[in-house]
Amino acid sequence: MTRIREYENSDLNRAKEFYINMENEKRQERIIRYLKKKRAVRQSWQLGIMGLVGLQLMRRTSWSTMFIEMTIWTTSIGLIWYLHIRDEYRKEIKKQADEMVDALKSKESHCWIMENGKDIVGTVILKCDQREGKIGYLTGVNSEIRRSLVKNAIQFAKSNKIEHLNLSHNELTQLPSTLYQLTQLMHCDLSFNPLQSISPHFSRLLSLSYLDLSHTNLQFIPAECLDLSLTTIRLDHCPHLLTDEFEYSIKFNPPSLFEICAREIIHPIMADVIKKKKIKKSISLLKTLPPHILQYLSSPDTCSSCGGPYFDTHLIRYRLIHRQDDTWIPVQYRLCSSHWLTEDQRVTDMFSFKPRLFLPKLKHSRLFELK
């Protein structure tokens, strides 16, 4: 059984050993990736090939001989560079492990360990300095463990009213829901993580003024992020994001009768929540419903266009925003119904009569707590 607990001094050597083992498991992949990117490797190989071609022209040897020489050269130069980078990688891991030990001993650091039985399966360190926080040394045998550890660390950061949070270089593929509870967050760095998408729930962070999403695998930006008064949003080096061509399906399956009823039931409650009216009477009536229906009704999503509720069924629409650096960013809209299809229709919809289920966009994760 897995559990997350606070770090203890007796965990120092085990935590360090676990960190080194986890980093060594990634060694092969990282070295190969580094070899492909390093310019000096390509240049030394190219110079050797050019030299062999020059010798071939001077000596007039057979092409089969030259092919063998090229193969030997390619293998040799690759092996030399591989051994060199492997040694450098070992030194870097040792250096980082020593820095991790220093961080564990620091009074400013808060560390958590996830155990499965007696074995460590994940660690995370949150370093807090006044209202600035940095999450690092995040290790875990899978992405779910890493996300659980980050969720736990962010929950602690919330109690410290963190305004600046650095989550960069943590190999996160998804963000924990606790991130959107940091209502005082002003600066968020998510760079150098393999994120493919971010949640529309970022719109709840009303104080956010700086968001760094550079060096990620994002494919689009949620339309809700455009509602934030962001002064800076970094999107450089996102190869899957910056494009001037975008294809998507316009097929749409209508909502089920169950969802249509759920939307009708939840709409007046959402309206009262937004108007800050008391909803105890409505909730007391809802609690007579079976638990699985109550769970379903407690967390509606909101339409990117009209703010109305939806649960399972929604449409996806995109528009392209042209930036000053002559790049294009796909913006994703999640619609409760077919409000619009083209850009002209979207603009018209902005100034048209609002549908009956129109609501200002909800800034809460749940309408009510389940007890």
The residue with tokens 């048209």 is 352
Tell whether the model's pLDDT for residue 324 goes beyond 90.
no
Residue 113's DSSP bridge partners are 5, 123
pLDDT of residue 368: 56
Q: In terms of domains, do 101 and 117 share one?
A: no
pLDDT of residue 367: 58
Residue 257, pLDDT above cutoff 90:
yes
Q: Are 118 and 127 in contact (CB under 8 A)?
A: no
Model pLDDT for residues 94-129, shown as the tens digit of each residue: 999 999 999 888 888 899 999 998 899 999 999 988
* Residue 245 within any structural domain of the chain: no
Q: Where a domain ends, among 200, 234, 268?
A: 234
Residue 222 lies in a domain: yes
Same domain, 65 and 148: no
Same domain, 77 and 156: no
DSSP state of 98: H
Same domain for 219 and 122: yes
State the Cα–Cα distance between residues 55 and 66, nearest whole angstrom.
9
- My answer on whether 124 and 225 are in the same domain is yes
**How many H-runs (helices) and E-runs (strands) does the chain carry?**
9, 13
Instruction: Decide the pairing of beta strands 132-140 and 187-189.
Output: unpaired
Asked if residue 206 lies in contact with residue 293, where contact means CB atoms within 8 angstroms, the answer is no
Band (239; pLDDT cuts 50, 70, 90): confident
Q: Angle 63-105/27-37 helices, nearest 10 degrees?
A: 120
What's the whole-number average pLDDT of the chain?
83
Same domain, 180 and 279: no
Q: Could you tell me if residue 365 is inside a domain?
A: no
The residue among 83, 105, 127 that closes a domain is 105
Strand-pairing partners, residue 135, are 126
Q: Which two tokens stand for residue 235?
A: 């999107």
Q: 0.85 cut: is pTM over it? A: no
Does one domain contain both 266 and 218? no
Whether 136 contacts 128, CB under 8 Å: no
Most confident of 35-39, 41-45, 48-52, 167-171: 167-171
Could you report how far apart the first and last alpha carbons of the chain are, in Å? 25
Residues 65 and 181 in one domain: no
Cα dihedral: 27, 234, 250, 341 (round 10) = 180
Name the least confident of 109-113, 227-231, 255-259: 227-231
Please tell me which residue, 355 or 181, carries the higher pLDDT value: 181
Q: Which residues, 6+ apart, have CB-to-CB distance to 110 below 8 Å?
A: 6, 7, 125, 126, 127, 128, 153, 156
- Domain identity same for 116 and 226: yes
For the chain, the domain total comes to: 3
Based on the number of CB atoms within 10 Å of its own CB, is 129 exposed (0-12), middle (13-18) or buried (19 or more)? Answer: exposed
Q: What is the dihedral of CA 157, 160, 161, 163, to 10 degrees?
A: -60
Residue found under tokens 């943590």: 170
Task: Name the band, by pLDDT with cuts 50, 70 and 90, for residue 280.
Answer: low
Say yes or no to pLDDT of 243 above 90.
no
Whether 25 maps to a domain, the answer reads yes
Domain CATH code at residue 195? 3.80.10
In the structure, what pLDDT confidence band is assigned to residue 339 with cuts at 50, 70 and 90? confident
Q: 47 with 88, same domain? A: yes
Q: Which of 49, 74, 105 is the last residue of a domain?
A: 105
CA gap 175, 198 in Å, rounded: 7
The answer as to whether 247 is a domain residue is no
Residue 370 in domain: no
pLDDT the model gives residue 298: 82
Which residues span the domain enclosing 39? Answer: 10-105
Q: What is the DSSP string of 102-115?
A: HHHH-TTEEEEEEE
> Are residue 223 and residue 115 in the same domain, yes or no?
yes
Q: Is 43 a domain residue?
A: yes
Reduced to 3 states (helix: H, G, I; strand: E, B; else coil), residue 252 is coil
